[in-house]
């Protein structure tokens, strides 16, 4: 008899390993991610200069380039964590493939879905309270954060498509929804609240001088690796459990 109970994501263990596993792989990850990381930092630090000196079009092109670079960065992280050190070239991925295009497509779909759901919640809230300006006074100072929750919950359940795509698995929205059944709020904590909390880390570093700004950007990328690791490990836990239910094995952390 096949067990139909969904795998319960061990939130604390996932978060702990999101820090521990990148640290244990630090030499490999540093070597594979350093070239792309330097490009990302240069794009981030030069963003305001590009906008001021070259105008909006150049700044828009820079944003697209940054999106492409961070996609390669994320795919590299997912593959190193899920498939091992030999899954990417020694100094990281150096070419764009269908895999990266699919990764961007799912990312854009997730962002668009979150935006649409959030707008619908705002429209409903405005209709319920009378005006958007009354929301903080009616529901408290954190009302706008709560407005973001429904969209974030839905997107969190579909985010497992990103690591799946990174390891060359062809999946769809139906698969993602079924795979994350019973784990929506756990995923919300791991891939929603955790990244939100980590995003404030660089803000506590002092100054905005060029050297300090470089350090801030580097810390931000390190924390992003932790966020990607949390999603990778969540995906690994869910898919490993589903495979085991059908009598096959897959290594888990």
3-state helix/strand/coil string of 184-228: HHHHHHHHHHHHHHHCCHHHHCCCCCHHHHHHHHHHHHHHHHHHH
Which residue positions in the chain have pLDDT lower than 50? 1-3, 138, 140, 243-253
Dist. CA 124–CA 132, nearest whole Å: 10
Per-residue model confidence (pLDDT) at position 245? 39
Provide the whole-model pTM. Answer: 0.83
Per-residue model confidence (pLDDT) at position 244? 40
Structure tokens at 200: 């404030």
Structure tokens at 105: 């497509």
CB-CB contact of 84 with 25 (8 Å):
no
Dist. CA 64–CA 202, nearest whole Å: 23
């Amino acid at each position: 008899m096949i067990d139909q109970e969904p795998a319960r994501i061990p939130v604390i263990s996932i978060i702990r390993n999101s820090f521990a596993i990148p640290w244990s792989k630090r030499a490999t990850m540093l070597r594979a991610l350093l070239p792309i990381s330097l490009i990302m930092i240069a794009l981030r630090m030069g963003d305001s200069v590009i906008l001021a000196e070259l105008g909006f079009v150049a700044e828009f092109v820079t944003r697209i380039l940054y999106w492409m670079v961070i996609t390669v960065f994320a795919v590299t992280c997912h593959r190193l964590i899920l498939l091992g050190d030999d899954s990417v070239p020694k100094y990281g991925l150096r070419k764009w493939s269908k895999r990266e295009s699919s990764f961007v497509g799912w990312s854009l779909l997730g962002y668009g879905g979150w935006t649409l759901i959030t707008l619908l919640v705002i429209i409903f809230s405005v209709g319920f309270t009378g005006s958007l300006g009354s929301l903080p006074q009616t529901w408290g100072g954190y009302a706008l954060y709560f407005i973001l929750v429904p969209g974030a919950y839905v997107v969190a359940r579909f985010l497992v498509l990103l690591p799946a795509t990174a390891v060359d698995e062809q999946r769809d929205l139906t698969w993602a929804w079924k795979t994350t059944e019973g784990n929506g709020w756990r995923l919300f904590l791991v891939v929603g609240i955790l990244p939100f909390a980590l995003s404030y880390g660089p803000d506590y570093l002092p100054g905005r001088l060029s050297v300090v700004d470089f350090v801030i950007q580097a810390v931000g990328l390190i924390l992003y690796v932790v966020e990607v690791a949390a999603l990778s490990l969540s995906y690994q836990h869910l898919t490993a459990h589903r495979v085991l239910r059908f009598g096959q094995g897959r290594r888990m952390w």
